[in-house]
Amino acid sequence: MLSPESLKKIDREVAKYPAEHKQSAVMSALRIAQDEKGWLAPETIAFVAHYLDLQPIAAQEVATFYNMYDLKPVGKHKITVCTNLSCTLMGAESAVEYLQRKLGIGFGETTPDGRFTLKEGECMGACGDAPLFQLNNRKICAKLSPETIDAILAGLE
């Protein structure tokens, strides 16, 4: 179900916690599974639960509680724009407008070619660099302007 590399990564996370508390690694394990599969299908969640000796519902509780898990398929690149107060004061709205126009989609949507999904996010703890978005749960792209957005998107496969 998951590749040996992913399982190795999960094992590394498990090792961070006392042996009787494997459950502690469930967040990382779900993240690793999502990285490999693109999103968390029910069977992926069940697999992770099984791997960590949890009931599937316990893993599903976690997968549905934290925002960055995708419980439905997303595009190849997921763009999560923070629209909270600091970011809005600093121009998030025009960045969102530009992105939506450029990609032709709204929040929660994926481009027909499956390349981009746009999401609205909450505070990322990086407000000083607003406006900003987070790319694929990994990289924060800061101080957005039409030019920087063009450059970032052009750099993606």
Partner 1 sequence: MLNIEIDGKQLTVEPGTTIIDAADAAGIYIPRFCYHKKLSVAANCRMCLVQVEKAPKPMPACATPVTDGMKVMTRSETALKAQKAVMEFLLINHPLDCPICDQGGECQLQDLAVGYGMGNSRYAEEKRVVLNKNIGPLISTDMTRCIHCTRCVRFGQEIAGIMEMGQIGRGEHSEITTFIESSIGSELSGNIIDLCPVGALTSKPFRYSARGWELTTRPSISPHDGLGANLAVETKNNSVFRVLPRDNEEINECWLSDKDRFAYEGLNSPERLQRPMVKRYGEWRECDWPEALEAVAGGLKRVRSENGDAQIGALASPHATVEELYLLHKLMHGIGNGNVDHRLRQSDFSADANLQGAPWLGMAIAEVEKLDSVLVVGSTLRADHPLLAHRLRQAVKRGAQLNLINPVDDDLLCDVANKAIVAPDAMVQTLDQVRRALAGESVAGMAGSIAASLRQGERKAVLLGNLAQHHPRYADLHAMAQQVAELLGAKFGFLGEAANSVGAYLAGAVPDEAGMNAAQMLEEPRRAYILLGTEAELDSYNPAKTLAALQSAQLVVALSPYKHHALDYAHVLLPVAPFSETSGTFVSTEGRAQSFSAAVKPLGETRPAWKVLRVLGNLMELPGFDYESSEQVRAEALHGDLSAKLNNRLKAPVAKPVGAAAGGLQRIGEVPIYHADSIVRRAAALQKTAAAGVPTAAMNGETLDRAGVVEGMDVIVCQGAGSVVLKAARDDRLPHDCVRVPAGHPATAMLGGMLDEIVVERAG
Partner 2 sequence: MANTPKGQNEVIFHSIHLPESWKLANYLAVGGYDALKKVLAEKMPPDEIISQLKISALRGRGGAGFPTGLKWSFMPRNYEGDKYLVCNSDEGEPGTFKDRDIILYNPHQLIEGMIIGGYTLGAKVGYNYIHGEIWEAYERFEEALDEARAAGLLGKNILGSGLDFDIHAHHGFGAYVCGEETALLESIEGKKGQPRFKPPFPASFGLYGKPTTINNTETLASIPYIVRHGGQKFLDLGKPNNGGTKIFSVSGHVGKPGNYEVAMGTPFSELLAMAGGVRGGRKLKAVIPGGSSVPVLPAEIMMQLTMDYDSIAQAGSYLGAGSVIVMDDTVCMVRALERLSYFYFEESCGQCTPCREGTGWLYRIIHRIEHGLGRPEDLDLLDSLAGNISGRTICALGDAAAMPVQGMLKHFRHEFEHHIQHKKCMV
Is residue 94 part of the contact set for partner 1 (CB under 8 A)? no
Counting contacts by CB under 8 A, is residue 55 touching partner 1?
yes
DSSP 8-state secondary structure symbol assigned to residue 125: S
Candidate segments 39-47, 79-87, 106-114, 148-156, binder of partner 2 by CB under 8 A: 79-87
- Residues that contact partner 1, how many (by CB under 8 A): 10
* Contact between 95 and 83 (Cβ < 8 Å): no
Residue 58 binds partner 1, judged by CB under 8 A: yes
Q: What is the DSSP string of 82-124?
A: E-SHHHHHTTHHHHHHHHHHHHT--TTEE-TTS-EEEEEE---
Q: Strand, coil or helix: what is 126?
A: coil
Is residue 50 a contact partner of residue 7, using CB atoms and an 8 Å limit? no
- Letters for 134-153 (x = contact with partner 2 by CB under 8 A, - = none) are x--xxxx-------------
Among 2, 6, 10, 25, binds partner 2 (CB under 8 A): 25
Residues that bind partner 1 (CB under 8 A): 42, 46, 55-58, 60-61, 64-65
